[in-house]
Amino acid sequence: MNYIDALRKYNEGDDKWCVPRKGTEDYLKIRSMMNKGTKGTK
């Protein structure tokens, strides 16, 4: 899974997209989704 796909899953169900800054907790969630290929929740 690439970064954009993980970001889509992370922002699923929201009206607006959120792109977290590097090094934040949310950014690390997206990176872990990329490695695992799992769904994320906000």
Is residue 38 within 8 Å of residue 2, measured between CB atoms?
no
Number of domains in the chain: 1
pLDDT band for position 12 (cuts 50, 70, 90): very high
pLDDT band for position 5 (cuts 50, 70, 90): very high
In a domain, 42, yes or no: no
The 10s digit of each residue's pLDDT in 17-39 is 999 999 999 999 999 989 886 56
pLDDT band for position 41 (cuts 50, 70, 90): low
Higher local confidence (pLDDT), 5 or 40: 5
> Tell me, what amino acid is at 4?
I
Structure tokens at 34: 């990329």
Structure tokens at 8: 């889509």
Domain range spanning residue 9? 3-36
Q: Record the pTM.
A: 0.68
In a domain, 16, yes or no: yes
